[in-house]
Structure 1
């Protein structure tokens, strides 16, 4: 995973990320449901890449759907890969699941090497990621698929308030410019047009999930695992400043996302695309 140009990559906490694993996995499952069957591969096993695999909890769903395939999850976070490694091994039907270090910002697979390249909630961290689409499509076997989903909620209160606070007078010097804006991702139409121009058959859409979160300050707990990581990384060596920022942000989130009788509703828009190479 990467971040805004000129900013250091955030450190990741697999345990914090997995605290909302059920909600986070749902878009992956919805994406996977639209991925067509892989092209016939003859004697070789199907080859699948999960770009930005995180702790591997959803990468294993790829191995479950295609148990004869060689599935590799790629990530640039050592913490995430260490957590994922416990899932590696043979699938029981001749396939295998493994993990390797790689950054989506410069990952350059061999031409025709994969039958499916998939990325789940990663490309928003990679500035200019659509520029990599031609090479990734070229890395597909004829009839192969490139599929991804990215958050499209950068204009939601959770992110707007985070940016405004980081750019406030108190925090600007330490945190200014570290957080992403809405231009971190494209619209579904823009993704569709880019992929169609590469000769693909494309299915693109967007969905807004209404996650009902439980517990105290659950939206803060959610973003501590993802969008807030650049802030937490920048303040990692200053516990007092970190807690002061969290206290201010917590109060803003409580007003923006009030708790109800059944929990806290957290609307979350996501953008999806499934592109199949001609073949």
Structure 2
């Protein structure tokens, strides 16, 4: 009887990674595409028409403060506060501070405003980072004065190649022991109809819509440069203590993005879907 062949030993699996740290944000990287990142906020703001001059405004997830400054420009007599849980972003936002505009540390997932304390609560590209964020809506709506508005926009591009490629790469044989689940955005936002149904069920006059921007990005590897400011942050944070691994992952990801988003003579077309919602209390 012939003995079966001895299996060839494979590479030893690495121990499972510890829970990933919270993403570390880089304001300068985020602001490299400031015009494209600000455009959805301007489109959201254009539809906010409060019945009276707001006296108190909150910007949840204010980031580098550039969008919060636009709120202060629109309603200069209101007391506007930008909240964020990134010390790096708040340090950059501080340059916009005025007697009517300030910034404070707060995690939107646990932020608990007093009832009827704001005329306008805005959230710009934040909610996708908060699991089960719709459970927070009722408390935020309670914080609005009568006639007050809750306005938000979120990215709706999690099925786009920029994200599916990133997910597949994190889960590949080379990286899954270190990166599987890191920055997983599956189910990060709801479809527009779900937001509409929920906000109307909470007694609000509601307006929900979506837009896909065909962003034309310049330069070499511009989609990689874009995601370095957002979707790639959890991976870069998780690999921050391993420069070689970070470089290898980024190089592999960049090559895949080039195939998915080939450059044109005018630049690289990067379609980006956004979901918007306004909810006004009676």
TM-score by length of 2: 0.92
Cα RMSD (Å): 1.0
Distance verdict in 2 for CA 1:38–1:57, change over 3 Å: farther
1:52 paired to 2:61: yes
Which residue in 2 is equivalent to 1:241?
245
Distance 1:247 1:187 in 2: 33
* Cα offset, 1:36, TM superposition: 1.3
* Cα offset, 1:47, TM superposition: 0.2
Q: Deviations over 1:136-185 (max 9, x none)?
A: 00000000000000000000000000010001010001111112234100
Which residue in 2 is equivalent to 1:17?
30
Q: Equivalent residue of 1:202, what SS? A: strand
Q: Is the 8 A contact 1:203 1:273 kept in 2?
A: yes
Q: Equivalent residue of 1:29, what SS? A: helix
Which residue in 1 is equivalent to 2:279?
275
- Write the mapping of 1:59-208 to structure 2, written as runs, cut at 5 A: 59-90=68-99, 96-208=100-212
* Cα offset, 1:40, TM superposition: 5.7
* Cα offset, 1:16, TM superposition: 0.2
* Cα offset, 1:35, TM superposition: 0.7
Distance 2:152 2:41 in 1: 9
Q: Is the 8 A contact 1:152 1:182 kept in 2?
A: no
* Cα offset, 1:7, TM superposition: 4.0
Distance 1:250 1:8 in 2: 23
Q: Equivalent residue of 2:187, what SS? A: helix
Distance 1:30 1:160 in 2: 27
Aligned length: 264
Moved more, 226-235 or 180-189: 180-189
Which residue in 1 is equivalent to 2:216?
212
Q: Equivalent residue of 2:66, what SS? A: coil
Distance 1:20 1:254 in 2: 18
1:221 paired to 2:230: no
Distance 2:211 2:98 in 1: 34
Q: Equivalent residue of 1:184, what SS? A: coil
Q: Equivalent residue of 2:229, what SS? A: coil
Distance 2:266 2:256 in 1: 21
Q: Is the 8 A contact 2:20 2:238 kept in 1?
A: no
Q: Is the 8 A contact 1:38 1:116 kept in 2?
A: no
* Cα offset, 1:38, TM superposition: 4.8
